[in-house]
Chains A and B, each alone.
Chain A
């Protein structure tokens, strides 16, 4: 299908199904139960899942294929966000021009930064991209927000004010980002028994964009261009000796992944029209590195998983407080309840960073291939177990 082989089609179909049914899959617990704390099926978090999924997919095209580790990709995310909000300010709240511009502008920046940074490789490349991104952050946070020439609105974040021109804004249109009149905030709530599912317009728009991005990424991975990039990773020197100039290929990969990041930034603004400079800080760049490696660098689905994993932690674990803990363990005798709360307390709420740090270490130590490797191991283990009792049945298993 779509020029993909059977296996890739399968992956694409699985991702499509996951994305379409996310509002249901991510809300497994009834709304009023104690476990509802772990539900992730609300619009904001689902949007974050797919948007950071796009960001990580793009980053993976550069890092997973060529091995060039960029520590400045958040800059493109930020640039995309700012461009999109500027379109809102100037043209009006339709998201299409904003998203298009965010891809173009971040692509342009990626071309410039990539052209300079790719003259070096290894850690020198990493530090160059880091330096560029930190410069962008510092400029956006303070210098470019001075009252005379306010491009970024500094600490407060760029946002739309009532007195902005918004040339194409008409009365009938929503006063929030919209797609030809369909507000990104529009949410259909569906109650099924004790469950409540939220179908959000902004989420589905992002999810469709993510699926397109994912499809494109598969095509890039499988194309001759992708092969060339892998060759850069495995041995750039040998490639150069054969008379091939690898620079245009790596630059193209850099620009493509920069545009992915810009697109993600644009979408962030599209679902929530405020762009802050913190998006460009080095920790934000580090976050996408973590997402990719955590999920499995160089694999197709890994970065998306990694993005979901980190965003889930950030949003769900930080919201568990002692009160919630007490309600979970209320069934235990008092002393034991307090003890359990005492034990878990350092790891939740304000301690979610600690839990995340420990998990990073565990994943990197035991699963060098990231979550994807973890999944494969579990699958392999199940296969072995199911294969043992009736070895003959193994014949009918799909060959893969």
Chain B
């Protein structure tokens, strides 16, 4: 700079501003005033809905977002109230949470841990969110759960099925309503036994990452306990789009059951490929060849079309359930959006309601108070029958649905039918179960 533009007046002005700025911190800093991170002070409270809006799970994320909006509507007292009317706890008044209107911010996880954490951080640091919820993969859920623990806010997990979320990676500030891989195995095993007998040879194709492994481990343990033999377990790369080279060896392996430990796009493609290779019509050892998809998602099953017919799996919830809670939710969601909700929508709706209810009962937004209210909480009327939020690992224990691809669907939503509702007692495991060992809940962190 050759020439200075500073004038005396300008210097004085900016000097005055600077000193004012420097003086401010001592007067206005609100650092120590809050008792916990993002304590809501005004007439509203902000929740953070962190779902995949881009990437392969964008449609599930969109459905989750719809359910969140519905839940916020119901908590704030508009709409028909949905499951709030059937929920066994009546703490919620329909006037927001603790009289504060519920507002929300949304973010995009992109189904990547980094992006999900960045988005959650911006909700906490910028928007003042006091609770984060969402996600549709276990990696993301675990990453965001860890972040919420560090930052001192509550995390209500969305769709995450890995044992690790409430096992090795459990956190005191994190809660999961969705079921897990162990429960899938425990629920499926008796049904598989009654359908296919106890002398079967299973072949596993497993997505080669954490969730895939825990699912394979769980299903393997459950089926081997029935007397089944595991012929082979093959890991498939997550990025694989064509599974033909993994399916082809199944034909001559002597196996008579194929277990597809895949989810999302992987599941659609591997199932489509398996059916292409004629596995559904195949006869091995004098028995019909069977395919099992332990974790079903209706949205994804739609992509597999005809191929899902007659194939068994498990799911957290399905809209065709006839209990009062499910019906109220389906009516409320269906009237607003014109189609039935998915299990992802259901679990996040429940999570939002459960959180709001816990705050109301605890009388405070303080994460430690909320966690205390959720721990050991027993409730009913949210579509899964009697449910317990276990204090030791923050996992919900409830009935698990075993479903089958429907042979004659009446509409494009009518893809699955419930074969059996496995009672909660049958899928409950000890806190010290080896598949969930290695982590510690720690103590709740209120931040600030």
Contact = CB atoms under 8 A, between A and B. Distances in A.
Interface size class, chain B: 35 or more
B126 A42 contact: yes
Interface stretch (B87-95, B102-110, B381-389): B102-110
B439 A154 contact: no
A366 B241 CA distance: 37
Given A43-B125, A398-B3, A319 B106 contact: yes
A157 B143 contact: yes
Contact of B122 (A274, A319, A399): A319
Contacts of A10: 1
Contacts of A350: 53-54, 58, 61-62, 108
A390 to B, nearest CB: 16
A39 B239 CA distance: 36
B118 A352 contact: no
A156 B169 contact: yes
Nearest to A36: B126
A156 B143 contact: yes
A245 interface: no
A155 B2 CA distance: 55
Interface in B203-242: 208-211, 213, 235, 237-239
A142 B125 contact: no
Contacts of B143: 156-157, 274, 276
Contacts of A159: 146
B31 interface: yes
A242 interface: no
Contacts of B118: 44-45, 48, 314-315
A190 B30 CA distance: 8
A314 B53 contact: no
B431 interface: no
B25 interface: yes
A328 B112 CA distance: 30
A141 B209 contact: yes
Contact of B150 (A48, A185, A315): A185
Contacts of B439: 161
A142 B209 contact: yes
A155 B146 contact: no
B125 A315 contact: no
Contacts of B440: 162-163
Nearest to B165: A156
Interface of A: 10, 39, 42-45, 48, 138, 141-143, 145, 147, 153-157, 159, 161-163, 176, 185, 187-192, 198, 272, 274, 276, 278-279, 314-315, 318-319, 321, 323, 349-350, 352-353, 396, 398-399
Interface of B: 1-3, 21, 24-25, 28-31, 53-54, 58, 61-62, 65, 104-108, 112-115, 117-119, 121-122, 125-126, 137-139, 142-143, 146-147, 150-151, 164, 169, 208-211, 213, 235, 237-239, 439-440, 442
